[in-house]
Structure 1
Amino acid sequence: MAEGASEGQEKTEDPTQKRLEKAKEDGQVASSKELFVFSTLLVGLLLYIGLMPLMPSLLQEWSSLFSFAGQKGVMDEIYRNLGASFQFMFWKSVIFAIPLLIIVILTQMGMSGAINWSSSALAFKPNRINPLSGIKRMFSVKALVEMLKAIGKVTLLIGTALLVFMATIDALFTTPSTHLMGGLSRMGDVFLLLIIVFLLVLAAISVFDVIWSHYQHNEQLRMTLQEVKDESKQTEGSPEVKAKIRRMQMTAVSRAKERKAAMEAVPTATAIITNPTHFAVALKYEVGTEGAPMILAMGRGNQAQEIIEIGKDAGVTIFRNELLARALYFAGQIGDEIPGPLYTAVAAVLAFIYRLNNDEQVDPPDVDLPEDMRFDENGKVIS
């Protein structure tokens, strides 16, 4: 559904962190061939310069492999020297291979931020052997850019090589008293200069290629606005659901605050109406004031027990009447005046409590409620 919704939309949004991580898992990371060429050539040059003092001994060891005494048979010596030459080439190659391998790994880490091993990148992809897909890749913008990069690189390297040779040709062929070893030494100097110039050119090309690779990688991973929204829904949930959860959380917090404030107001109540324990409603009324009694707190079950305990500790009079307690609980609201149909019943109860608190001997009143104010424990009107 998400794919269909995003069809026809332009990919204008930068890739999200989840999209970047998914691409990295699939082996799709920014990479620069030119940076690899520059770094390996630089390390190779440094190794060459560092191993220059060892060259005479290496050449001597190499030349010894072509010396045959013939005392134990020429063929035996040939086979022995051949095996020794393979070992010589192998271990000397390792000296160059290990540093180059390390610099390749470090170069990729510099490009992608970490070593990335992806098994999915090694998986078989049928489109790679599809001729139509191959032709499409050959004539793509990426292929055109790669071709232009290759032409530009070759042009720059050939041009710089010609400039170096033109600048040093006089020193190579016109120096007085030129001899073989002196000529070879000067050619070595020119070769070293040429490598250094190549490195400078490749460094400039690498900077361009790294910038282009990161730009191209980012463009390939760009997302449509719908894809960003769908991903947000998958990771964080639907905005509608999140809004509903926030509303429920805010309501719960608000109710908790109201309940706390109501419980703190219970000690100031005039009376607590119970039935006798399942429901409890705390009322407040001051004689001579305008308006009806106000509901300070109410609850059922454990909350009702808490209201009763707080009221007892504060010396609040508790009046037990099952129907009145239910009517106040189901028809009233905390912080509001009691419902109008209950004025008469509550007034009778408060008058009884007032006289009781004044040490008068009075009988409990007969509380009569309207038919529509008689509730059962579930809040349904008793018929």
Structure 2
Amino acid sequence: MAEPASDGQEKTEEPTPKRLEKAKEDGQIASSKELFVFSTLFVGFLLYLLLLPFMPNILMEWASLFRFSGENGLQDETFRNLSSGFVFIFWKSVIFAFPLLIVVILTQMTMSGSINWSSSALAFKGNRINLLKGLKRMVSVKALVEMLKAIGKVVLLISAAVLVFAWQSDTLLMSQHTHLFGGLSRIGDVFLLLLIVFLLVLAGMGIIDVIWQQYQHTQQLRMTLQEVRDESKQTEGSPEVKAKIRRLQMTAGSRAKQRKAAMESVPTASAIITNPTHFAVALKYEVGSPGAPLILAMGRGLQAQEIMEIGKTAGVTIFRNELLARALFFAGEIGEEIPPPLYAAVAAVLAFIYRLNKEEDVEAPDVDLPDEMLFDENGKALS
């Protein structure tokens, strides 16, 4: 059954990678005490086997710490032996402690997949000292499971020990009929067998506990459907925003295609009206054709310079008129006819260019524009 969230919704969804990563940052990772117990005991057992040939020398070194000749003074020998004893204990402890430390780190890496260091897990949390929450944790299902695990572990280990001693009872009883070292050897064999059985029991419990802890960890991090949606919005943006971005991208792509097509059509233009450098509008008109002149391309700044360069290369006549260039740029649209209020002005310009191309001696026309077609360089009406 899915665990209910604080808002009443059930946590039915598997935790997302972002949720798992956030849990790691907060120090919330799966961990198995039984696996730690097994791994440390197993490594300790291997160290015991490796150091077994050196045990006589170690025991002799330890025994030497309790010999006092009195030749150099009993007090001096006592302090010297105490100092040697501390050094002996320290280095022998390091031999066991260092491998155990490594195996603890590797065990946690096996559980979580990496070494996890979380500073937030060390931070003070006031809710941890809440008496009611503390009592709730003590009587929770998790606490009950932990208690049953502890009882089960004790029962299994005691049962395993009883079975081993019952199985090896003849060996233990016969130890009294042999010499001292023979009896100690038999007891050592039984002790070794007992350790192996304990390791097998702990290995089985460790595997079961790892599966349980992973299940519990996943259950605690499960999310409601609304939490998954909210996280998706935070990560990828809301559907409305994404749709708006797609529209803008499509618009930008369409404008880029339109601009490219417009630039390709500039060489076929009848004239280019400029400002003289800030604006450029390419017009096309076939004499005798119905309709008004078409706007093939227009631009400002660098785009205007590009239109004029293409026009010069193609031999298109460039006519400079500041107000007309602005009017066409701000009132017209690429691919459409020029605005009706500009018919007369554009007709006069095209007629001048037509006669000029015929190599007639003509003067540039005075272009008069309606008041509503007068703009400054920012597209603001001058009237």
Shift of 1:138: 0.7
SS of 2:283 mapped into structure 1: strand
Query: Which deviates further from its counterpart, 25-34 or 178-187?
Result: 178-187
What is the aligned length? 379
Question: Are residues 1:120 and 2:128 paired?
Answer: no
Which region of structure 1 is more displaced relative to structure 2, 214-223 or 69-78? 69-78
1:32 corresponds to 2:40: no
Residue matched to 1:57: 57
**Aligned equivalent of 1:265:** 265
Question: Where in structure 2 are the equivalents of 1:195-234 lying within 5 Å?
Answer: 195-232=195-232, 234=234
Opposite residue 326 of structure 2, the aligned amino acid is: R
Tell me the alpha carbon deviations over residues 300-358 of structure 1, each in whole angstroms, 9 at most, x when there is no partner: 34433332232223211123444443332222211223334444543444344333323
Q: Which letter does structure 1 place at the counterpart of 2:153?
A: K
Residue ranges of structure 1 left out of the alignment (5+ in a row): none
- Where 2:11 maps in the other structure, the secondary structure is coil
| TM-score normalised over the length of structure 2 | 0.84
Equivalent position SS for 1:223? coil
Residue equivalent to 1:279:
279
- 2:225 counterpart of 1:186: no
Shift of 1:44: 0.5
Greater CA deviation, 186-195 or 357-366?
A: 357-366
User: Within the alignment, does 1:359 sit opposite 2:359 as a pair?
Assistant: yes
Structure 1 partner of 2:293: 293
Q: Which residue of 2 aligns with 1:303?
A: 303
TM-score after normalising by structure 1: 0.84
- 1:259-314: CA deviations, max 9, x gaps? 23322321221111234444321012234555443211112344333322322232
- Secondary structure (helix, strand or coil) at the match of 1:295 reads strand
> What is the deviation of 1:372?
4.5
Structure 2: state its 5+ residue gaps.
Answer: none
3-state DSSP of counterpart to 1:66: coil
Deviates more, 1:63-72 or 1:334-343: 63-72
Q: CA deviation at 1:95?
A: 1.7
CA change 1:275–1:69 in 2 (3 A) is closer
Return the alpha-carbon distance in structure 1 between the equivalents of residues 8 and 320 of structure 2: 71
How has the CA–CA distance of structure 1 residues 304 and 118 changed in structure 2, closer, same or farther, with 3 Å as cutoff? closer
What is the CA-CA distance between 1:68 and the residue it aligns to? 4.1
Structure 1 residue 45: deviation in Å? Answer: 0.5
Match of 2:110 in 1: 110
Task: Tell whether the 8 Å contact from 1:294 to 1:336 is kept in structure 2 after alignment.
Answer: yes
Q: Aligned pair 1:318/2:289, yes or no?
A: no
Deviation of the 1:55 alpha carbon: 1.1
Deviations 1:87-119 (A, max 9, x none): 333332222112112211222222223333333
Distance 1:199 1:32 in 2: 16
Q: 1:314–1:176: structure 2 CA closer, same or farther, 3 Å change rule?
A: same
Secondary structure, in 3 states, of the residue corresponding to 2:168?
helix
1:144 aligns with 2:140: no
Other structure's SS at 1:102 match: helix
- Give the direction of change, closer, same or farther, for the CA distance of 1:363–1:149 in structure 2 (3 Å limit): same
Within 5 Å, give how 1:77-116 maps onto structure 2: 77-78=77-78, 80-116=80-116
**8 Å Cα contact 1:6-1:224 kept in structure 2:** no
- 1:38-65 residue CA offsets vs partner (Å, 9 max, x unmatched): 1111110111001111111122222333
Identity of paired residues, percent? 77
* Counterpart for residue 41 of structure 1: 41
Q: Distance in 2 between matches of 1:343 and 1:71?
A: 128
Q: 1:272 aligns to what SS in structure 2?
A: strand
Cα 1:178/1:380, change in 2 over 3 Å: same
Instruction: Identify if the C-alpha distance between structure 1 residues 60 and 288 changes in structure 2 by more than 3 Å, giving closer, same or farther.
Output: same
Asked whether the 8 Å contact 2:175–2:182 carries over to 1, the reply is: no
State the SS of the aligned residue for 2:162.
helix
Cα deviation for residue 36 of structure 1 reads 0.9
Give the conservation status (yes or no) of the 8 Å contact 1:34–1:206.
yes
Task: Tell me if structure 1 keeps the 8 A contact 2:176–2:183.
Answer: no
Distance in 1 between residues matched to 2:81 and 2:378, nearest whole Å: 103
In structure 2, distance between residues paired with 1:262 and 1:6: 60
Aligned partners of 2:276, 2:95: CA distance in 1, in Å?
Answer: 93
Higher mean C-alpha deviation, range 247-256 or range 330-339: 247-256
- What SS does the corresponding residue of 1:182 show, helix, strand or coil? helix
Counterpart position of 1:169: 169
Matched letter for residue 135 of structure 2: I
> Is the contact made by 1:6 and 1:227 (CA closer than 8 Å) also made in structure 2?
no
**Counterpart contact for 1:6–1:226, Cα < 8 Å:** no
CA RMSD in angstroms, aligned pairs only: 3.2
How far is 1:197 from its partner? 1.8
Distance 1:277 1:170, change over 3 A: same
Please give the alpha-carbon distance, in whole angstroms, between the structure 2 residues aligned to 1:375 and 1:80: 103
